[in-house]
Amino acid sequence: MTTPSRSARPAVLAQNQYGKAENRVVRITRDGATHHIKDLNVSVALSGDMEEVHYSGSNANVLPTDTTKNTVYAFAKEYGIESAEQFGIHLARHFVTSQEPIRTARIRIEEYSWERIGAPEADPSSAGAQEGGHSFARKGQETRVTQITYDGSSWEVVSGLKDLVVLNSTNSEFWGYVKDKYTTLKEAYDRILATEVSGRWRFNWTDDEQPMPDWEESYAQVRGHMLQAFAQTYSLSLQQTLYQMGARIIENRDEIDEVRFSLPNKHHFLVDLEPFGLKNDNEVYFAADRPYGLIEATILRDGCEALIPVDLSNL
């Protein structure tokens, strides 16, 4: 069977592009104990002489989308990420100048901003103000929540937050766990620990006779203690970090008797750059969105009753 000439086609190929979308790359740059983070979502779209792959299936002009993904990670290591613009320009120029059939490269980048969680200070509510270290909170994400229940005589106030993403770029290990015939996870002695905090805390203010807490001050303080516990805990598991975050609140805030956390373990996998002759010295990570570990627990003031629902989405 002969391929029909182009003019004989009743259906002709119009605009087309291809590439790998949403490459989640996290680049850590270590300046002694002070780490810097760049967190991007990079989408590559290439176009050019791509008629044949569509008409006949010949891949002769096709740089695999998998290669475009690898290029994103390799460039993150080799050239670093100074800015999203600089990184995108570098990638686009590379694809167009190194591959004859590729005429246009469109690189779209979303950048997620992070701010530092401060070192220990007298006032934990100002966590974030102080520079330094390896602990970060993602900007502009958090939602504050509260639930008030009143039956005419007693009050229950449960407050909290959700969507607060935090990350430690060191001081996290995970090893010594159970291994069965399905276990493939490698023990980690220096990993990224990241989670999106969903937390609720229950106040022991229950009747109008008691002095009412200062809700604004309480929120700021609880948030500060929680973030500082996250930043300061040398973590052997997310479970241990969770307990520390809850315990710090119970120990420091007399108005709170119960804290519950739901913490997804937002996995960051080191990218294997060996095939490109590059050493990945804990610098370039693939930020996976699913599946994720989900670590949940309640921390109670000793002797108190657990009243916050197990499933925080019901609150």
Ligand X SMILES: O=c1[nH]c(=O)c2[nH]c(=O)[nH]c2[nH]1
Nearest to ligand X of 204, 239 (CB atom) = 239
**Which of 304, 309, 307 is closest to 254 using CA atoms?**
304
Query: Which residues sit opposite 77 in a β-bridge?
Result: none
Catalytic residue among 65, 67, 146, 206: 65
Residue closer to ligand X, measured from CB, 80 or 293 = 293
Q: Which is nearer to ligand X, 221 or 237 (CB)?
A: 237
**Least distance CB 140 / ligand X (angstroms):** 26
Interatomic CA distance for residues 78 and 94, integer angstroms: 13
What Rg value do the Cα atoms of the chain yield, rounded? 25
Residue with tokens 């069977």: 1
CB of 191: closest distance to ligand X in angstroms? 8
Q: 131 with 117: CB under 8 angstroms?
A: no
Distance, in Å, from the CA atom of 42 to the CA atom of 291, rounded to the nearest integer, reads 20
Catalytic residue list contains 267: yes
Strand, helix or coil for residue 160: strand
For 174, the 3-state DSSP assignment is strand
Residue 64 CA, distance from chain mean position:
27
- Distance, CA of 124 to CA of 115 (rounded, Å): 16
Give the separation between CA 278 and CA 196, rounded to whole angstroms: 31
Cα-based distances in Å from 310 to 102, 243, 250, 306: 53, 16, 18, 9
Q: Of 35, 38, 162, 267, which is the active-site residue? A: 267
Min dist CB 173 to ligand X, Å, is 9
Which residues are at the interface with ligand X (CB under 6 A)? 174, 185, 237-239, 265, 293
- Min. distance of Cβ 280 from ligand X in angstroms? 20
In terms of CB distance, is 43 or 237 closer to ligand X? Answer: 237
Q: Is 20 a catalytic residue?
A: yes
In the bound state with ligand X, the residue whose beta carbon lies nearer, of 131 and 187, is 187
Shortest Cβ 184–ligand X spacing (Å): 10
CB nearest ligand X: which residue? 238
**Cβ atoms 260, 295 nearer than 8 A:** no
Would you say 174 or 219 has its CB closer to ligand X? 174
Task: Tell the smallest beta-carbon distance from residue 240 to ligand X (Å).
Answer: 8
DSSP string for residues in 183-250:
--PPPBSS--EEEEEEEEEEES--STTSPPP-HHHHHHHHHHHHHHHHHH--BS-HHHHHHHHHHHHH
Residues serving a catalytic function are: 20, 65, 267
